[in-house]
Structure formats: C-alpha cells, structure tokens
C-alpha cells in the first residue's frame, strides 16, 4: 500500500514516517518545505517526495494529513477529486473549514481523528458504554507550547462524547507547557463520588502507531465525513 503523509517534515509527520518505515507500506512525503527534485526524507532516504499534493506524479492508496488546519482542507479537496480515503489528524479547523471538508466527503471517505492513540480510543469506548446522567464533568488538557488550538481537538471530542452520554460538562480548559506531547484529564462528579480519568502520551509515536492501525478502518469506510468518537463507538 502506498501511504501519503501530508506535513511529513513536521514533528508529527516525522513520527508517522518513522512508524511507517517499520511496515510493508511504501511512503510518499508531502510538505511545502520540500522541492520536487529532492529524494527521501529525514526518516526514509528513498521515499517518494513532493512539495504539494498537486505535484504528485503517482496517486497513493490513502492520505494522512498532519500539516495543520488549512492543509487538511487542501487534502480533502485533493482526495475528493481523486476519490481517495483521507485520515485527518490535524486539528483547529474553523467552522468554515469543517464545512468545506464535509462537502469534499461527499466524494470520498474522510475520518477526523484528533487523537489516534490506543489509550484515548479505550476511553471513548468506556464512555460510550456508560450512562453519565447526573454527573458533572470537567476536562483539562495540557500540550506543548507550540500547539495553536486551545482547547485541543481531543478535548472537544471528549466533550461531545460526555454530553452524548448525559454528563453536564461544566468546563473545558487547556494549558500550554514545555514539550508535553499530550495529557487529558476528565473529572466526573456525582454527589459525594468523584471519578478521575487521565491519559498521558509520552511521545508522538503513540499517535503514529495508532494512526497506522486506524488506516484499516479508513480504507473500509464509504464516502462521508466520520468522527473518531463515532468509529470507536461502533467498534
């Protein structure tokens, strides 16, 4: 399988490319900092490489976007045009950007997955199986200083899931500290009882490994826009 990573030269992109080189999949690296005559990336010396999706000479089987909110819209347009499945890990899209992505999803399957780690997937399944009526909930997330969106896409996804299960979400807040890859804490309170759930990703490799596993799901999806929380609930 030929996997295209958009945003390949960023930290998350390099984690993905590094994880993919341990599989049998071939990799295409797409990043605006690259030129079309370059061969290889920092992780894979002989992978196909291009500065943009439009400049690709060969179509991939699937696209993963980690290039940022604006990049995800361009990836959606490209995948719609070529009827390719798309996994969007980038977060921070505006309402207009999400609307554009939804239009593109009429012609290709698109999965929005802000957190592909196995641990967050497990938390989503736990929440999906729970009746949280009567619980107050608060979410606190912590990420590295360079993360632009606040609260994180994962926190927003968890908030939606909590509300769907009947919880009263009273606050969602974010901290930007050091080089933290990602920590999310959910606090649930009902009467005199308190439940705390914390997930910490020590490295971006957690997300990269989870994304590769999630590709199997993306390849089986019909055309349409799907949320990670929905997929975890069905699986």
In the predicted model, what is the mean pLDDT of residues 13-27? 89
pLDDT in tens, 57-102: 889 999 999 998 899 999 999 999 999 999 999 988 999 999 999 9
DSSP conformation class of 15? H
Question: Kindly report the CA angle at 114 between 204 and 39, in degrees rounded to 5?
Answer: 55
Instruction: Assign domain 2-115+205-234 to its CATH architecture.
Output: 3-Layer(aba) Sandwich (3.40)
Q: Which of 212, 218, 221 is nearest to 25 (CA)?
A: 212
Can you give the pLDDT at residue 56? Answer: 87
What are the structural domain ranges in the chain?
2-115+205-234, 118-201
Cite the active site residues.
143, 147
Distance separating alpha carbons of residues 44 and 209, to the nearest angstrom: 17
pLDDT in tens, 127-165: 999 999 999 999 999 999 988 889 999 999 999 999 999
Q: Which of 228, 225, 194, 12 is nearest to 123 (CA)?
A: 228
- Confidence bin at 40 (pLDDT 50/70/90): very low
Q: In the structure encoding, which two tokens stand for residue 87, read together? A: 């996994």
How much of the chain exceeds pLDDT 70, in percent? 93
Q: Which CATH superfamily is domain 118-201 in?
A: Dihydrodipicolinate Reductase; domain 2 (3.30.360.10)
Which one is predicted more confidently, 24 or 66? 66
């Amino acid at each position: 399988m030929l996997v295209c990573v958009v945003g390949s030269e960023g930290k998350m992109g390099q984690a993905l490319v590094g994880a993919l080189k341990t599989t049998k999949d071939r990799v295409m690296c797409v990043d605006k900092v690259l030129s079309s005559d370059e061969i290889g990336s920092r992780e894979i010396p002989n992978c196909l490489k291009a500065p943009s999706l439009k400049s690709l000479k060969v179509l991939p089987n699937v696209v993963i976007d980690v290039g940022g909110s604006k990049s995800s819209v361009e990836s959606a347009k490209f995948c719609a045009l070529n009827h390719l499945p798309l996994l969007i890990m980038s977060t921070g899209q505006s309402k207009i950007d999400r609307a554009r992505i939804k239009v593109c999803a009429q012609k290709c399957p698109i999965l929005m997955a802000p957190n592909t780690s196995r641990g967050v997937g497990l938390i989503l399944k736990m929440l999906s199986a729970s009746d949280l009526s009567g619980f107050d909930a608060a979410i606190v997330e912590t990420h590295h200083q360079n993360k632009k969106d606040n609260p994180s896409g994962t926190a927003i996804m968890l908030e939606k899931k909590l509300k769907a299960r009947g919880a009263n979400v009273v606050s969602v807040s974010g901290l930007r500290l050091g080089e933290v890859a990602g920590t999310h804490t959910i606090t649930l309170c009902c009467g005199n009882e308190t439940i705390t759930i914390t997930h910490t990703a020590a490295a971006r490799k957690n997300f990269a490994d989870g994304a590769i596993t999630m590709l199997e799901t993306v390849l089986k999806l019909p055309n349409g826009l799907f949320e990670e929380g929905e997929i975890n609930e069905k699986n």
